[in-house]
Amino acid sequence: MAVYTDVSETDLQTFIADYDIGALLSYKGIAEGVENSNFLIHTSQGNFILTLYEKRVNPDDLPFFLGLMDHLAGNGLSCPLPIRRRDGETLGTLAGRPAAIISFLEGMWPRKPAAVHCRETGRALAAMHVAGKGFDITRPNALSVDAWRPLWEKSASRADEVEEGLAAEITQALDELEAGWPKGLPEGVIHADMFPDNVFFIGDELSGIIDFYFACDDFLAYDLAICINAWCFEPDGSYNLTKGMALIDGYSEVRPLSEAEVAALPMLATGAAIRFLLTRLYDWLTTPEGALVVKKDPREYLRKLRFHRAVDNASEYGLRRAAHIQDTAI
């Protein structure tokens, strides 16, 4: 569920009066997402998305998130655009929360992603990386390799409640990641959460990317590794090589990978798996039953972690042509 803060009709009418988006006709909560409260609002000028930023979001990060969407849209990426108030600002306050109104993006996310969706997602991810060049606000990745050990320590004592031997397995994987994490790869703004429910399609055509609230600066190829985890595994935990080929093909058509990125891809994919394993594990162990935060089974990412740790090179993910590789990358 993604409505943690209720909004009254009177308060919403007062809030949107600061915007040139017409009169409020109706609104309803959107029951997807885990971080913020989202509403679809219908006005006399069309549909918009209202987002209230909840306590898990640092208000100091909001200029980065909103400014990034503005920058990406201005550079041709199909993504929601923050609507400016009459005073030129994109951020206000509603129901005691920071709040913004975002343009409505047509489309639906694919419930059963196919290879065609993976190819289009790869293209869009690379297009985002290219469009992000020149964005002048930076935000370090708070969930990168340096953060995994402290996060793990919050769950380590209870990890074996989820699966026997899990504590030892994660500790060993963290040791390997900290020792072998790559350095000097091409960096830029990454989405960091480009799961299927954050990519919209109309038919087989990608209509846009949403939910930039984990975006940050990091290795560009790490974003591709996150997508490999999010898009290319089947519900039974098996890796779908056809989807992997399509994802990497699509990405490389827009932004070919460097030799160093290709060599690092198994390590990056392992890191992406443990990042989501650890956040899911923490929520699984600490979130009380009935809480609004949606708990997701961490064992899904345990299976993915085991797969990546057994991978020798990027060809096992679907990298199949020398054309995917260039000597230098942006």
Which run of H or E residues covers position 37? strand 37-43
Per-residue pLDDT tens digits for 170-216: 999 999 999 999 999 999 999 999 999 999 999 999 999 999 999 99
Does the CA dihedral 196-202-207-211 come out positive or negative? negative
| Percentage of residues of the chain with pLDDT beyond 90 | 88
pLDDT value, residue 62? 95
Per-residue pLDDT tens digits for 126-154: 999 999 999 999 999 999 999 999 999 99
Per-residue pLDDT tens digits for 101-115: 999 999 999 999 999
pLDDT value, residue 91? 95
Q: What are phi and psi of 217, to 5 degrees?
A: -100, 130
Burial class (CB in 10 A: 0-12, 13-18, 19+), 251: buried
Q: Which of 55-59, 93-97, 142-146, 230-234 has the lowest mean pLDDT?
A: 55-59
- Asked if the model's pLDDT at residue 4 lies above 90, the reply is no
pLDDT band at 5 (very low <50, low <70, confident <90, very high): confident
Return the structure tokens found at 184: 């000097």
Which pTM value belongs to this model?
A: 0.93
- Asked if the model's pLDDT at residue 330 lies above 60, the reply is no
Q: What are phi and psi of 238, to 5 degrees?
A: -80, 150
Q: Name all domains of the chain by residue range, CATH numbers in brackets.
A: 9-103 (3.30.200.20), 115-326 (3.90.1200.10)
Average pLDDT, the chain: 93
Between the alpha carbon of residue 280 and those of residues 70, 80, 208, the distances in Å are 30, 27, 26
Mean pLDDT across 36-41: 92
Q: Which of 221, 242, 212, 227 is nearest to 276 (CA)?
A: 227
- Asked if the model's pLDDT at residue 322 lies above 60, the reply is no
The amino acid occupying position 314 is A
Cβ-contact 218, 141 below 8 angstroms: yes
pLDDT value, residue 233? 98
pLDDT band at 19 (very low <50, low <70, confident <90, very high): very high
Per-residue pLDDT tens digits for 265-283: 999 999 999 999 999 999 9
Spatial CB neighbours of 89, under 8 Å, sequence gap ≥ 6: none
pLDDT value, residue 326? 63
Q: Which of 189, 227, 186 is nearest to 65 (CA)?
A: 189
pLDDT value, residue 329? 45
- Asked if the model's pLDDT at residue 328 lies above 60, the reply is no
Number of other CB atoms surrounding residue 129 within 10 Å: 25
* Three-class DSSP category at 57: coil
169-176, Cβ contacts within 8 angstroms, sequence gap of 24 or more: 169/302, 170/274, 170/277, 170/278, 173/270, 173/274, 173/305, 173/309, 174/148, 174/149, 174/274, 176/270, 176/309
